[in-house]
């Protein structure tokens, strides 16, 4: 039997035989992508997947290759038009950033270099350390803090809790795990804490039942007195409270907990304070809005995303730790094949591998480094302020119109509202169904991407603006579209 290698006439690589051809294709891709980005406003924000696409993307395993040009044509036909749409100027669903053309180029360079960001003696490590130092400064954390870039907020938050668990367990949790007989360790956060916390508790072996979800006030902020009561009751029951999660911008309504009060509770009770600032922490960049998140700089760990309110392409998040030793002792894992040295490529050790879960990591820092240097923090601050001003505008349209109702206080870039005509005033079921249908129709129209949530049993249309492409007129159009759809559906008796 001949080996597959023998079917090739010479030794070969995955580099092109003809660099000129690939270069031409690459230039075409770049031109197409710029053209695509330049004309986003004229394209649908989103469209449902047609059958042609679901079947085209359900092929059998390719045994033999085909021309890259052909595969690229398939990308143009079957992938590019059918994405999650968050790059569109009128996309405000969930919390999703747009991405930027410059950061796209940086991602290409990073992928081209293909540096291994486990650590070692190389400039890309310095670039990641540089952006971590910048974010530490921007967040007001001490310069001695440590941190690591992650693929997103969930990973950043998970790493934060993992370090908290290690620091506060009172025994060597890395060695023993949670299978011995120890008091039950508990972590606290409000009912509005994002679901990453439940996932993380499960993943850390602590179990969901060890996440105490504390009631919120009518601004959707944790009730600190309830937290204190719960900690006391849990201690009395022989449990071991270890950490509190503070929300700097909840996903539902953008609520910001009283972080300074939580800092005080944690210091007094000897608990770890972890801040989930997935998007809200970025308010720190704006001198105007930084006071809203006062206290996050005192966190033991602070997690946030750059792929939301810094508009970078997915996936890039960050977690910072006040105590760098606590950070590294939670993860550092020596291995013979990674022995650090005074000289050579591994001089300085596998710094990043010792600060998180992953060993091989991509050069994600480059897009942040290039973007921050090119735009400057001022540009981000101005964009964050622009996003809030736009939502303030939408909020006032909602407040002005008798048939629109605000569903939660709006302080920053998140607004929950609904279409609620007088005729349906007391019919929650009807209002829920009507507003759910409005959200579906808006998405399917390709005109707007908004999402929904449920607040106290009532369905709300939810707008979260982390969009650097939106203009204030877009929000006038959104309000008008909600009203038009609402009226149409109400007349048609949509159920």
Binder among 45, 251, 383, 408 for ligand PLP (CB under 6 A):
251
CB of 153 to ligand PLP, least distance (A): 2
Nearest one of 285, 272, 292, 37 to 166, comparing CA atoms = 272
Binder among 85, 241, 317, 452 for ligand PLP (CB under 6 A):
317
152 binds ligand PLP (CB under 6 A): yes
- Binding segment (CB under 6 A) for ligand PLP, from list 49-57, 97-105, 261-269, 276-284: 276-284
Pairing label, strands 301-305, 317-321: antiparallel
Q: Whole-angstrom Cα distance, residue 210 to residue 353?
A: 28
Compose the 188-217 pattern: x for residues touching ligand PLP by CB under 6 A, - for all others.
------x-x---------------------
Binder among 279, 309, 380, 459 for ligand PLP (CB under 6 A):
279
Q: Whole-angstrom Cα distance, residue 228 to residue 315?
A: 36
Phi, psi of 185 (to 5 degrees): -80, 140
CB of 411 to ligand PLP, least distance (A): 14
Burial letters 217-238, b for 16+ CB under 10 A, else e: eeebbbbbebbbebbeebeeee
CB of 361 to ligand PLP, least distance (A): 16
Q: Whole-angstrom Cα distance, residue 423 to residue 427?
A: 9
CB of 308 to ligand PLP, least distance (A): 6
- Binding segment (CB under 6 A) for ligand PLP, from list 129-137, 160-168, 220-228, 247-255: 247-255
Residue closer to ligand PLP, measured from CB, 449 or 481: 449
Give all strands (DSSP E) within 248-382, no chain letters: 272-276, 301-305, 317-321
Q: What's the distance, Cα to Cα, between the start and end of the chain in Å?
A: 67
- Binding segment (CB under 6 A) for ligand PLP, from list 5-13, 58-66, 151-159, 294-302: 151-159
Phi, psi of 98 (to 5 degrees): -90, -35
- Residue by residue, DSSP assigns 253-283 as T--B--HHHHHHHHHHHT-EEEEE-TTGGGG
**What separation in angstroms does the CA of 228 have from each of 144, 271, 345?**
31, 12, 50
Site residue total, ligand PLP (CB under 6 A): 14
CB of 277 to ligand PLP, least distance (A): 8
- Please report how many Cα atoms fall inside a 13 Å half-sphere around the Cα of residue 76, on the Cβ side: 15
Structure-token pair, residue 473:
């007129």
Binder among 278, 431, 439, 478 for ligand PLP (CB under 6 A):
278
Residue closer to ligand PLP, measured from CB, 241 or 254: 254
For CA atoms 53, 55, 57, 62, the dihedral sign is negative
Residue closer to ligand PLP, measured from CB, 230 or 413: 413
Nearest residue relative to ligand PLP (C-beta): 153
Q: Whole-angstrom Cα distance, residue 161 to residue 210?
A: 13
Compose the 59-98 pattern: x for residues touching ligand PLP by CB under 6 A, - for all others.
------------------------------------x---
Residue closer to ligand PLP, measured from CB, 196 or 363: 196
User: Which residues sit at the interface with ligand PLP, rule CB under 6 A?
Assistant: 95, 152-154, 194, 196, 249-251, 276, 278-279, 305, 317
């Amino acid at each position: 039997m001949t080996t597959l290698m023998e079917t090739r006439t010479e030794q070969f690589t995955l580099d092109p035989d003809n660099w000129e051809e690939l270069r031409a294709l690459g230039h075409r891709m770049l031109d197409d992508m710029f053209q695509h980005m330049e004309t986003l406003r004229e394209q649908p924000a989103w469209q449902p997947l047609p059958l042609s696409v679901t079947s085209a993307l359900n092929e059998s395993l390719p045994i033999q290759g085909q021309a890259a040009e052909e595969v690229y044509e398939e990308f143009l036909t079957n992938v590019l038009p059918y994405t999650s749409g968050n790059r569109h100027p009128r996309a405000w669903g969930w919390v999703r950033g747009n991405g930027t053309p410059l950061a796209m180029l940086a991602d290409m360079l990073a992928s081209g270099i293909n540096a291994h960001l486990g650590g070692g003696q190389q400039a890309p490590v310095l670039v990641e350390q540089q952006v971590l130092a910048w974010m530490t400064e921007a967040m007001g954390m001490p310069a001695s803090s440590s941190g690591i870039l992650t693929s997103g907020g969930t990973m950043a938050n998970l790493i934060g809790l993992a370090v908290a668990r290690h620091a506060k367990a009172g025994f060597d949790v890395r060695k023993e795990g949670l299978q011995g007989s120890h008091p039950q360790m508990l972590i606290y956060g409000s009912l509005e804490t994002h679901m990453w916390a439940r996932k993380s508790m499960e993943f850390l072996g602590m179990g969901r039942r060890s996440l105490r979800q504390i009631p919120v006030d009518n601004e959707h902020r944790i009730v600190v007195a309830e937290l204190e009561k719960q900690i006391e009751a849990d201690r009395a029951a022989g449990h071991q409270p270890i950490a509190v999660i503070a929300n700097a911008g909840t996903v539902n309504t953008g609520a910001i907990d009283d972080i300074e009060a939580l800092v005080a509770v944690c210091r007094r009770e000897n608990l770890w304070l972890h801040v989930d600032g997935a998007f809200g922490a970025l308010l720190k960049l704006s001198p105007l809005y930084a006071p809203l998140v006062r206290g996050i700089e005192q966190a033991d760990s602070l997690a946030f995303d750059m792929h939301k309110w810094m508009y970078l392409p997915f996936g890039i998040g960050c977690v910072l730790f006040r105590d760098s030793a606590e950070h590294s002792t939670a993860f550092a894992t020596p291995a013979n094949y990674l022995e650090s040295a005074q000289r050579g490529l591994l001089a300085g050790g596998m710094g990043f591998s010792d600060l998180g879960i992953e060993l091989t990591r991509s050069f994600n820092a480059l897009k942040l480094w290039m973007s921050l240097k090119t735009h400057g923090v001022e540009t981000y601050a101005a964009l964050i302020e622009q996003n809030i001003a736009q939502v303030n505008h939408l909020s006032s349209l909602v407040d002005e119109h008798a048939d629109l109702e605000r569903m939660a206080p709006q302080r920053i870039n998140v607004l929950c509202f609904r279409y609620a005509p007088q005729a349906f005033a007391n019919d929650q079921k009807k209002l829920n169904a009507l507003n759910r249908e409005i959200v579906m129709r808006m998405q399917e129209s390709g005109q707007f991407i908004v999402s929904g949530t449920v607040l106290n049993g009532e369905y709300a249309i939810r707008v979260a603006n982390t969009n650097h492409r939106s203009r204030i007129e877009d929000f006038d159009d959104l309000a008008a579209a909600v009203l038009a759809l609402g009226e149409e559906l109400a007349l048609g008796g949509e159920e």
